[in-house]
Amino acid sequence: MEGISALEKNVAELTVMDVYDIASAVGQEFERVIDQYGCEAISRLMPKVVRVLEILEVLVSRNNINPELEELRLELDRLRLERMDRIEKEKKHQKVRTGLQLPTDTTYTGGGLSSTPRSLH
C-alpha cells in the first residue's frame, strides 16, 4: 500500500478500499492469534469484528455519496435563488412599464373636464 496506511487516515477521508485494507490487516492479526493460541481464543470476537467492519463499509460508502448529493442540493438552491431574482426583476420591469403609460392633458371643455392623450412629439 502506498502512502499513508488506512488505519492512519482521517476518518472523513476513508474509502471503501481502505475498509477492505483494514479488514485484511485485522484478518492477518486474527491469523497470528489463532496460530499462537488456537481458534477458541477469538471465536466469539471474530463475528463481532466482522460485523463492525461491515457497518464501517456501509457508512464509508454513504459518506462518499453524500458530497455528490450536497453538490446537487447547493446547485438546486442556487438555481432557486436565480429564479427568484429573475421573478423580482420581471415584477420591477412590469411596474416600470405600467408607470410609463402616456400622460393625459386635462382641459376644460365647457361642460366639464376632459382628458385626452398627450402626444410625445
- Coil, strand, or helix at residue 35? helix
Q: Is the pLDDT of residue 40 over 80?
A: yes
Q: Which residues pair with 107 in a beta bridge?
A: 114
* pLDDT band at residue 1 using 50, 70 and 90 as cut-offs: very low
Q: Above 90 in pLDDT, residue 46? A: yes
Would you give the distance in Å from CA 110 to the centre of its chain? 72
Among candidates 22, 12, 31, 11, which has minimal Cα distance to 50?
Answer: 22
C-alpha cell at 47: 463475528
Task: Classify domain 6-117 by CATH architecture.
Answer: Up-down Bundle (1.20)
Residue 33 pLDDT more than 70?
yes
**Are 82 and 41 within 8 A, CB to CB?**
no
